[in-house]
Structure 1
Amino acid sequence: MDLRKLKTLVDLVSESNISELEITEAEGKVRIVKTPPAPLQPAPVQYVTAPMPAPQTAPSGSGAEPAAAPVAAPSAKVIKSPMVGTFYRASSPGAQPFVEVGDSVKQGQPVCIVEAMKILNEIESDIDGVVKEILAENGQPVEYGQPLFVLE
């Protein structure tokens, strides 16, 4: 079996739901086995109940205005990103967002998706509350521990 044909078969198996492929020809026998990826453990959603510190002001005379950082109220809880990836508010580009500002959120309810390494990870809230602010932009990269939502 020539190398191009073998590479085509390997690509076919890796891009499909096929886990094993065996082909027997006059020249010989080829068996391609795709090992399943290790199951991902859903990362727990982290939240903070302590107030965030006020942003520092620039020294007078510098002429630069500091960017306003979102400040959570003392009773607010922050849902943070459990991983590095791309933040999505909805399950697909044309779908309704999981939550909007003012929506009530129950524990275990999906609030967004973070795509990491071409895997869509549905992020669930582990607290009850009302969405007061959405801190991440749809389609933008997020870091581990970056605040995504403020709930009260």
Structure 2
Amino acid sequence: MELSVTDLRELVTALSQSDIVELTLKSSGFELTLRKPGAMVSVVAPAPIAPQTAGESAPNSPPVAEPVSASPPATPATPPGKSSDLLAITSPMVGTFYRSPAPEEPAFVGVGDRISSGQTVCIIEAMKLMNELEAEISGEIVEILVENAQPVEFGQTLMLVRPV
């Protein structure tokens, strides 16, 4: 069984949007376990095979576990050189970032706009579903860090807001 990066992203998104707490996939080549909330993702893969010399048999090594954190990447809420009073709006999932509800429509928010808690600030498309992202804070949009129609990762900072 092979999993592409797209397949893995879809699994993570589906898990985050469901009531499933843990999902384990096993194959002869690997084992993948996804747990939520904020749990660790374990990938078990065969150990690399060392080059062989003439007459030498390949060692039979046990699989090696490589833990990969499922928590958001450690990114500061404020990039270096920015004011420390700014708060970040981050992506709750892997997907594609859209600033407006449709290509011909105006953006939900722009730099300098005042937002209030509960206001839609963008859309994250995941698995062909459009997920409106609502602000959890009120304030002024200081910077939008992602271009329209660009892929985003779970926990990636999308916008910086100066609270009011």
TM-score for both structures, normalised by structure 2:
0.52
User: Is contact 1:51–1:73 with CA below 8 Å preserved after alignment?
Assistant: no
Query: Which consecutive residues of structure 1, in runs of 5 or more, have no partner in the other structure?
Result: 1-36, 55-70
User: Is contact 1:87–1:136 with CA below 8 Å preserved after alignment?
Assistant: yes
Which of 119, 131, 135 is 2:145 aligned to?
135
Is the aligned partner of 1:126 residue 2:136? yes
User: Is contact 1:78–1:150 with CA below 8 Å preserved after alignment?
Assistant: yes
In the other structure, the counterpart of 1:114 is 124
In the other structure, the counterpart of 1:149 is 159
Alpha-carbon shift at residue 52 of structure 1 (Å): 3.9
In the other structure, the counterpart of 2:95 is 85
In the other structure, the counterpart of 1:95 is 105
Spell out the pairing of 1:28-47 with structure 2 (5 A cutoff): 40=17
Q: How many pairs were matched up?
A: 94
- How far apart, in 1, do the equivalents of 2:116 and 2:79 lie? 27
- How far apart, in 2, do the equivalents of 1:139 and 1:107 lie? 24
* CA-based RMSD: 2.7
User: Is contact 1:129–1:151 with CA below 8 Å preserved after alignment?
Assistant: yes
User: Is contact 1:51–1:72 with CA below 8 Å preserved after alignment?
Assistant: no
Over alpha carbons, which structure has the higher Rg?
Answer: 1
User: Is contact 2:100–2:122 with CA below 8 Å preserved after alignment?
Assistant: yes
After the TM superposition, list the runs of 4 or more consecutive aligned residues in structure 1 that deviate by more than 6 angstroms. none
Q: Which amino acid letter does the alignment assign opposite residue 127 of structure 2?
A: M
Q: Which amino acid letter does the alignment assign opposite residue 117 of structure 1?
A: M
Q: Which amino acid letter does the alignment assign opposite residue 93 of structure 1?
A: P
User: Is contact 1:131–1:150 with CA below 8 Å preserved after alignment?
Assistant: yes
Which of 76, 92, 102 is 2:86 aligned to?
76
Cα gap change, 1:118/1:106 in structure 2, threshold over 3 Å: closer, same or farther? same
Q: Which amino acid letter does the alignment assign opposite residue 145 of structure 2?
A: L
Alpha-carbon shift at residue 53 of structure 1 (Å): 6.3
